[in-house]
């Protein structure tokens, strides 16, 4: 029986499955998952674990696949998000199962949960697509495609609307499963976006940012640590520029200022910072943004960028930012 009392939420980026420069074959995706999942398996000895994950590359690929097929009916985006929850949930769950076995942890229950996330139909985000999905294009390719595109830190990508998560529909079920010591994989791809219609829910064409959904999940299930794992070591000032500087910690006040100064790109680092800030501010929890390689180190307070209330709080005793 696990004695863990603290709940750790790990939010895995889409690049936990498809790394820079890869095509994204299924073999590559399974291979890539081992790195974060092995660490999470080890952490499950000490923490109750919730895993959430992105779906940007996968949901964009599904959209492309169906746009190039004219013999079967097309599906709305919310159904494609549901498909990626199943697809990636299966991949994480089976990889985790193998890694737990490898560690000799044979009795750990785990489950992937189809999850809806409520959004507000009046969210201004519906008027302005900002969330990058699918493959990266060159400037020339981007000019000739028939949908909204944006230049991101990785290149040109298709963008879709991305409203803010308001509430996780299955929060009670997730909490129960965690209390019962299950490892829960949920809110994949930011959750299936739904709006309330009276007492029912109606799916809506959008992709919720998984980092913001992760922060909402952390709040609603009462997690202790919210960790975002991505393809950079943490949060940088002047990212990609000459004076690029990665931060070990950032206070809420500093983060607010850096957002205003434009250090964090919308659709990538900005939602991560905002999600981390939200959890620290509203719930007093620990938030850290780190690389897929450094998940365990970041939980130990030795890697990544920690978002803190003020400078005295860094878990390993450092106080510099």
Q: Contact positions toward ligand ADP, by CB under 6 A?
A: 13-15, 54, 56, 153-154, 230-232, 235-236, 239, 263-265, 268-269
Crossing angle, helix 171-179 and helix 210-221, to 10 degrees?
60
State in angstroms the smallest separation of the CB of 9 from ligand ADP: 15
Nearest to 192 by CA among 86, 275, 278: 86
* Phi, psi angles (nearest 5°) of residue 94: -70, -35
What is the nearest approach in angstroms of ligand ADP to the Cβ of residue 53? 9
Catalytic annotation on 210? yes
Q: Which residue is nearest to ligand ADP (CB)?
A: 13
Q: Which of 32, 56, 131, 267 is catalytic?
A: 131
Q: How many helices (H) and strands (E) does the chain have?
A: 9, 17
CB of 175: closest distance to ligand ADP in angstroms? 25
**262 class by beta-carbon count within 10 Å (0-12 exposed, 13-18 middle, 19+ buried):** exposed
User: Which residue's entry shows tokens 């890539």?
Assistant: 32
* The one catalytic residue among 13, 15, 32, 55: 15
CB of 265 to ligand ADP, least distance (A): 4
What is the widest separation between alpha-carbon atoms in the chain? 61
Residue 72 CB, shortest distance to ligand ADP, in Å, is: 29
Residues 6+ apart with CB under 8 A from 160: 77, 129, 131, 133, 148, 205, 206, 207
The one catalytic residue among 175, 272, 285, 304:
272
Shorter beta-carbon distance to ligand ADP: residue 19 or 302: 19
Q: Which is nearer to ligand ADP, 222 or 241 (CB)?
A: 241
Q: Is 270 an annotated catalytic residue? A: no
What spatial distance separates the first Cα and last Cα of the chain, rounded to whole Å? Answer: 39
Nearer to ligand ADP (CB atom), residue 108 or residue 268: 268
CA separation for the pair 35, 295 (Å, rounded): 9
To the query of whether residue 61 is one of the catalytic residues in this protein, the response is no
Nearer to ligand ADP, 54 or 193 (CB): 54
Compare residues 175 and 266 and give the one whose CB is closer to ligand ADP: 266
Catalytic residue among 210, 234, 267, 270: 210
3-state secondary structure at position 256: helix
188 is catalytic: no
Residues with a known catalytic role: 14-15, 131, 210, 272
């Amino acid at each position: 029986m696990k004695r863990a009392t603290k709940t750790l939420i790990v939010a895995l980026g889409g690049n936990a499955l498809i790394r820079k420069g890869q095509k994204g074959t299924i073999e590559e995706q399974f291979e890539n998952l081992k790195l974060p999942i092995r660490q999470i398996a080890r952490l499950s000895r000490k923490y109750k674990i919730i895993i959430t994950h992105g779906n940007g590359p996968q949901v964009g690929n599904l959209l492309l696949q169906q746009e190039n097929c004219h013999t079967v009916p097309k599906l709305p985006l919310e159904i494609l998000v549901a498909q990626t929850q199943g697809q990636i949930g299966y991949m994480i769950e089976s990889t985790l199962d193998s890694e737990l076995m490898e560690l000799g942890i044979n009795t750990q229950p785990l489950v992937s949960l189809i999850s809806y996330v409520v959004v507000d139909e009046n969210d201004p985000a519906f008027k302005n697509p900002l969330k990058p999905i699918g493959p990266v294009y060159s400037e020339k390719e981007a000019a000739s495609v028939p949908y909204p595109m944006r230049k991101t830190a990785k290149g040109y990508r298709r963008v879709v609307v991305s409203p803010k998560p308001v509430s996780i529909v299955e929060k009670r079920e997730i909490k129960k499963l965690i209390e019962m010591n299950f490892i829960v994989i949920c809110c994949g791809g930011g959750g299936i976006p739904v709006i309330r219609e009276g007492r029912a829910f109606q799916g809506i064409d959008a992709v919720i940012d998984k980092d913001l959904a992760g922060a909402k999940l952390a709040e609603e299930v009462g997690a202790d640590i919210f960790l975002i794992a991505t393809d950079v070591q943490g949060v940088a000032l002047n990212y990609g520029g000459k004076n690029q500087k990665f931060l070990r910690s950032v206070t809420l006040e500093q983060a607010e200022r850096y957002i205003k100064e434009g250090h964090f790109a919308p659709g990538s680092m900005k939602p991560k910072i905002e999600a981390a800030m939200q959890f620290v501010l509203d719930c007093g929890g620990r938030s850290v943004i780190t690389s897929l390689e450094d998940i365990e180190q970041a939980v130990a307070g030795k890697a990544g960028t920690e978002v803190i209330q003020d400078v005295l709080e860094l878990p390993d005793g450092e106080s510099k930012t």
